[in-house]
Amino acid sequence: MTLFIFGEAMLEYHTRGGADGMQYGGDTLNTAIHLTRMGHDVAYATAVGTDPVSESLIASWGEEGVNIAHVLRHPNRSPGIYAIHLDAHGERSFLYWRDRSAAREMFTLPAMDAVLADAEKADMLYFSLITLAILPDEGREKLLGLAAALRRNGGKVAYDSNFRPNLWESYSEAQHWSLRAMVGADIGLPTNVDECQLHEEQMTEEDISRRWIAAGCSEVVVKAGEKGCLLALAGHAAEHFQPNLVKVVDSSGAGDAFNAGYLGGRLSKLTEEASIAKGQALASKVIGQYGAIPDVAI
């Protein structure tokens, strides 16, 4: 079963108590690589530059098994960069340099028409609010149009409202596009902290799930960190799941790993409950190691 993931892949500069290194990452790319390592057919759609660093990134993703046929090259832009700093408890903070990111203009590239035509035939489409944040309005409309076309063809759409305030001109703009994505999705993967920040109000996991179900999602998993998660299915009572308690070394990419485990389970026709177990197990392994994408499959 084919999964298309749209997003932005970036160079990652990670500080670890004095040991520095350049890697790569990005919320949707993290999920794509985890899913590929689980044996799923994953096509990643983005844009990078034509520079040697971009070519090296593409080669690395290909070596992981990601379908890189839909990674486009922008003639005069390059990948964005972000830096992660970890505190003593493994919690991270970010700095970004992405104004000239090639992914911002991926939908303006002529080759994108062929990418969209292939993506319409996929079994599932996944993207995040960060994907929408980096795009201009025209690109956002094209991505949501793809979601609608894929659903008409019998595919499923999964969406994560991963919120980064500094990527948006206003909270109301982010709320507008997130709601548009929710209306066009089948599977919702929000995080409680993101949703409360996005809507500038305190909400329980039940409140969040009701908002997503009302928007049209039939299947919602609200990630809640140390509180575990909540599963809500349209027409059924919500169910809480306790977390796997492990020592946090690096919280980077925990939600991305959970999404991979969960979506991988659903692509494999597992139940929602079994898919949550896969998501929690993968997220637990990721936060026990450095980096959102550990060097080897876990």
Which sequence positions are flagged as catalytic? 256
φ, ψ of residue 170 to 5 degrees: the values are -155, 160
Q: What share of the chain is helix, strand, coil (3-state, %, to 5)?
A: 45, 25, 35
φ, ψ of residue 98 to 5 degrees: the values are -135, 10
What six digits make up the tokens of 30?
């993290």
Q: What is the dihedral of CA 182, 184, 188, 190, to 10 degrees?
A: -30
- For 5, residues 6+ apart whose C-beta sits below 8 A from its C-beta are 28, 29, 31, 32, 35, 42, 43, 44, 45, 125, 126, 127
CA–CA–CA angle 263, 41, 83 (5° rounding) = 70
CA gap 174, 119 in Å, rounded: 25
What six digits make up the tokens of 228?
């575990």
CA gap 197, 145 in Å, rounded: 27
